[in-house]
Amino acid sequence: MSAGADQDRGGKSSVENPRAVTDIVQVFNESKGQDPRTRRYLALVLGLLGGMIAVGGSLALVGAAAASISQPRYVWYPLLVIGGASGVIGLVILPVLRRRFAADELRRIDALDAGSRS
């Protein structure tokens, strides 16, 4: 997507868009009947990214729980940092992937249109 597409959504950046995950899942569902490699790639990316966010969130929660019950810093700090970082990175990557998938789909459509004109 272009910068203009971000403005079409009311000026919100993709990170602030709570529908980012829903949009990626929608792209996955709409890819039925298309190139199976694209569908497998989308499934792999969605699965890995979802796992990264889930594991990161779980580690952050365990780290927060350990800190709240007065565990030593060397117990809760690595959990909180690693979990928080992986969760945030996963959430930041989602909009980038969505834009890349949309651009790839547009290129594929353009290639199909160019092939039908020949």
The band of 12, judged by pLDDT with boundaries at 50, 70 and 90, is very low
CA distance 49 to 83: 14
CA distance 92 to 57: 14
Going from the C-alpha of 78 to that of each of 49, 73, 86, the distances in angstroms are 21, 8, 12
How far does Cα 64 stand from its chain's mean position? 24
| % of the chain surpassing 70 pLDDT | 75
What is the value of pTM for the model shown?
0.58
Q: What pLDDT digit, counting tens, does each position of 97-110 carry? A: 878 877 877 887 77
Q: What pLDDT digit, counting tens, does each position of 45-77 carry? A: 878 888 888 999 999 999 999 999 999 999 999
